[in-house]
């Protein structure tokens, strides 16, 4: 029996590209374009309801099974972890995690202890642990580029897309920590319970991913 699936989409940067992918896969997304005050959007021509959420909440909803599927950046997956299937690299939302320091600064030159600011303390911790380097990590909630300017940190680990924000703030990326893009994730129980339906949806998304340049 066909039942409606529920998918959580990450609000903001990934939202537009997720909806564009759905539409080119033939899903009518009119309710998402005209949400009003509704928080759950029933797609008229496909048995699926969509909710929009902040990235970490997408993972929470999928892990708890209140959403069968989710679209979320690999950055959030790397930071939060969690128990779900990551079934597809959707190929959009491409950027990278980079270690960036003030221009002209030789980050590795001295043995003094270093402080790194990041919105992603877990990713930062793993990166330096793998290097065998002991650093102090300070969690910042946004505009991390400010931390070295204010003298709070020697460097930052952050998302770099075009590099414009780093450049405008006198910072330069010196190492890539990880590549990032949007991923389709699936609740483990839903994958068993609604296998056919979920496979149909994955195949539609995969078809669009192959068409992308
Ligand atoms: C991200 C990231 C950088 C910027 C990088 O911030 O934290 O600040 O984008 O993009 P660029 O390389 O193209 O300049 P976001 O816009 O998500 O806002 P936030 O700092 O409030 O998280």
Task: Identify which of 12, 15, 117, 161 to mutate to test ligand 1's pocket (most ligand atoms within 8 A of the CB).
Answer: 161
Backbone angles phi, psi at 7, to 5 degrees: -120, 140
How confident is the model over 35-55, as a mean pLDDT? 93
pLDDT, tens digit (0-9, with 9 covering 90-100), for 143-184: 999 999 999 999 999 999 999 999 999 999 999 999 999 999
How confident is the model over 49-65, as a mean pLDDT? 97
Taking 70 as the threshold, does the pLDDT of residue 43 lie above it?
Answer: yes
Mean pLDDT, the chain, integer = 94
Q: Which residues pair with 8 in a beta bridge?
A: 51, 70
Rg of the Cα trace of the chain? 20
How confident is the model over 114-139, as a mean pLDDT? 96
Q: Is 75 in the pocket of ligand 1 (CB under 6 A)?
A: no
Contact 34/15 with Cβ under 8 angstroms? Answer: no
Taking 70 as the threshold, does the pLDDT of residue 1 lie above it?
Answer: no
Give the integer Cα–Cα distance in Å for 131 and 149.
Answer: 25
How confident is the model over 102-124, as a mean pLDDT? 92
Contact 18/71 with Cβ under 8 angstroms? Answer: yes
Q: Is 164 in the pocket of ligand 1 (CB under 6 A)?
A: yes
Which atom of ligand 1 is nearest the CA belonging to 95? Answer: 12
């Amino acid at each position: 029996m066909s039942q409606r699936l529920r998918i959580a989409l990450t609000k903001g940067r990934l939202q537009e590209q997720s909806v564009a992918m759905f539409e080119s896969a033939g899903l009518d997304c009119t309710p998402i374009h005209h949400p009003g005050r509704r928080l759950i959007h029933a797609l008229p021509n496909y048995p699926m309801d969509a909710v929009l959420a902040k990235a970490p909440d997408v993972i929470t909803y999928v892990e708890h099974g209140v959403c069968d599927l989710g679209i979320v950046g690999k950055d959030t997956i790397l930071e939060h972890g969690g128990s779900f299937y990551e079934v597809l690299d959707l190929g959009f939302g491409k950027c990278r995690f980079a270690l960036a320091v003030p221009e002209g600064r030789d980050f590795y030159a001295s043995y003094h202890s270093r402080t790194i600011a990041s919105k992603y303390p877990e990713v930062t911790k793993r990166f330096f642990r793998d290097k065998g380097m002991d650093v102090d990590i300070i969690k910042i909630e946004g505009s991390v580029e400010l931390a070295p300017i204010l003298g709070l940190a020697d460097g930052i680990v952050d998302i770099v897309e075009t590099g414009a924000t780093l450049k405008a703030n006198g910072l330069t990326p010196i190492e890539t920590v990880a590549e990032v893009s949007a991923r389709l994730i699936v609740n483990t129980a839903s994958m068993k319970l609604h296998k056919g339906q979920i496979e149909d949806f994955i195949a539609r998304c995969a078809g669009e991913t192959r068409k992308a340049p």
